[in-house]
Amino acid sequence: MNIIFVLLPASLLLAGIAVIGYLWASRSGQFDDLDTPALRMLNDDVEDSSKKKRDDRSSSL
C-alpha cells in the first residue's frame, strides 16, 4: 500500500489542473451569464439545417 504515497499527491495534482481551469474560466467571464447558455443549448439541432439552407442558397446564386 506504499503506492498511495505517490498516488495521493499525483491525483490531487491532476484534479488541481481542473481547478485551475475552472478559475481561468471564471476569470474570463464564462460564468457571468448563467441563464442564456441554458437556452442556447436548445437551439443546436436547428443550427445545421438552417446553415445548410443558407449555404445552398448562397452557392446557387
CA distance 40 to 33: 12
Binding site for another protein (CB under 8 A): 1, 4-5, 8-9, 12, 15, 18-19, 22-23, 26-27, 29, 31-33, 35-36, 39-40, 42-43, 45-46, 49-51, 53-54, 57
Residue 33 CB, nearest distance to another protein (Å)? 5
Residues 6+ apart with CB under 8 A from 31: 25
Q: How far is the CB of 40 from another protein (least distance, A)?
A: 6
- For Cα atoms 11, 15, 20, give the angle at the middle one, nearest 5 degrees: 145
